[in-house]
């Protein structure tokens, strides 16, 4: 399978690779497709989801994938990566193996507090722009909310914000195991990590064995292909009858998961178990007191965000419950919710469905176009 940088170049699109160093030392590869027209319409940053990388935006190719469509429309496109995935495994001082406990001591909170603002500052300095458009998929929406709540001075650096399937509230997450099991697993994992320390997890898509298995199970005509799609639908949501993921199912399989921190995974499990939206809970009043100055992990105040946010969601997405999205819309000061009118639209369809261009990408670009030349659009709560 071809990695993202070669993929862009092989399609004859210009490509630049940039390294962003965060203020706490992580080195993040960030990719740029410069605008293809003489008139630049602005900058757009795309941010991936949990256990993914910027590769997830590029599986179908030109005329279908959002980065190429944006570049064709005259936008300066940047593809961000977070610490812990295959493009974020370097640090100025720490080694991910030799310094495991320190390197992997992060959750998506640090991605919102350090990674995203440092990426944004780098892009704006590089382009000479004062603000940019933002599209966040899944966890990509979550980290933008963390940034806006913890560093509100960044609000003015966004022209527009659009989230697809944002995994924020997780009270109605539809997982194929009983909720009580998740609670027990969270407790076991918490005790284990207290003893073992934080480390890397969910990185097997980077293994050669996994890639070979993907080719055997997911190639067009493979007899195990229906079985893989069934497993896929149990996790992310139903696969539409006319959605065969022709020619790209092997790439889908090989694109996830590409790495995360065990602490990051545990943080998600805490959200699901409690139904709240809080910072990482260290498991005891004393430890929380040392970390936060209070006995309970602080709650995020979503209602403090003043930016208007467009949110796209599906009724059949098992990883991003529709009721949770509607609750997020009610809690935000300014939100516009777009429900995709499909009987079967799963969590992955937001980036790789054959219908994504018409159903999602074109509306996203139209919304960005509406902000051209500084035209601000606000919508009702």
Provide the pairing of β-strand 309-313 with 158-164. parallel
Which is catalytic among the residues 82, 91, 267, 347?
347
- Which residues fall within 8 angstroms of residue 21, CB to CB, at 6 or more apart? 27, 28, 92, 118
Tell me, yes or no, if 138 is annotated catalytic: yes
Tell me, yes or no, if 361 is annotated catalytic: no
How far is 36 from 30, CA to CA, in rounded Å? 19
Q: What pairs with residue 338 in β-bridges?
A: 312
Give the chain's end-to-end CA distance (angstroms, integer).
44
Which is catalytic among the residues 131, 138, 160, 261?
138
**CA angle, corner 299, sides to 298 and 301, nearest 5?**
130
DSSP string, 59-82: SS-TTTSHHHHHHHTT-EEEE---
Beta strands in 171-269 (DSSP E): 200-201, 260-261
Q: What pairs with residue 44 in β-bridges?
A: 77, 133
- Which residues fall within 8 angstroms of residue 326, CB to CB, at 6 or more apart? 337
User: How distant, in Å, are the alpha carbons of 173, 177, 186, 285 from that of 180?
Assistant: 13, 8, 10, 24
How far is 22 from 122, CA to CA, in rounded Å? 10
Q: What is the 3-state secondary structure (H, E, C) of 101-157?
A: HHHCCCCHHHHHHHHHHHHHHHHHHHHCCCCEEEEEECHHHHHHHHHHHHCHHHHHH
How far is 314 from 343, CA to CA, in rounded Å? 9
The answer to whether residues 318 and 347 touch, using CB atoms and an 8 Å cutoff, is yes
13: how many CB neighbours lie within 10 A of its CB? Answer: 18
Catalytically active residues, by annotation:
138, 347
């Amino acid at each position: 399978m071809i990695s993202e940088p070669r993929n862009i170049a092989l399609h004859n699109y210009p490509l630049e690779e940039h390294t962003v160093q965060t203020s706490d030392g992580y080195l993040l590869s960030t990719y740029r497709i410069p605008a293809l027209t003489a008139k630049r319409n602005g900058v757009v940053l795309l941010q991936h989801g949990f256990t993914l990388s910027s590769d997830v935006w590029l599986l179908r190719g030109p005329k279908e994938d959002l980065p190429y469509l944006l570049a064709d429309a005259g936008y300066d496109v940047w593809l961000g990566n977070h610490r812990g995935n295959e493009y974020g495994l370097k640090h100025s001082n720490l080694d991910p193996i030799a310094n495991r406990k320190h390197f992997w001591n992060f959750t998506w909170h640090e991605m919102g507090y350090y990674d995203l603002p440092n990426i944004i500052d780098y892009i704006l300095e590089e382009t000479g722009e004062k603000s940019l458009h933002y599209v966040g998929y899944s966890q990509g929406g979550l980290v933008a909310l963390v940034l806006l709540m913890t560093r509100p001075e960044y609000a003015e650096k966004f022209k527009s914000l659009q989230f697809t399937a944002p995994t924020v509230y997780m009270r109605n997450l539809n997982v194929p195991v009983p909720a009580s099991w998740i609670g027990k697993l969270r407790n076991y994992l918490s005790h284990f990590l207290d003893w073992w320390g934080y480390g890397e997890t969910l990185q097997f898509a980077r293994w050669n064995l996994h890639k070979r298995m993907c080719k055997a199970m997911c190639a067009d005509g493979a007899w195990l292909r229906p079985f893989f799609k069934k497993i896929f639908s149990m996790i992310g949501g139903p696969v539409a009858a006319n959605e065969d993921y022709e020619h790209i199912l092997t790439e889908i399989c090989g694109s996830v998961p590409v790495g995360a921190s065990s602490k990051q995974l545990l943080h998600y499990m805490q959200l699901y178990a409690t139904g709240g939206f809080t910072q990482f809970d260290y498991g005891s009043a004393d430890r929380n007191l040392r970390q936060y100055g209070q006995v309970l992990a602080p709650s995020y105040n979503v209602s403090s965000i003043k930016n208007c946010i467009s949110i796209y969601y599906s009724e059949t997405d098992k990883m991003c419950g529709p009721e949770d999205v509607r609750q997020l819309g009610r809690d935000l000061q300014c939100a516009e919710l777009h429900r995709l009118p499909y009987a079967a639209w799963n969590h992955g369809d937001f980036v790789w469905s054959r219908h994504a261009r018409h159903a999602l990408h074109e509306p996203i670009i139209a919304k960005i176009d509406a902000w051209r030349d500084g035209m601000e659009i606000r919508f009702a709560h």
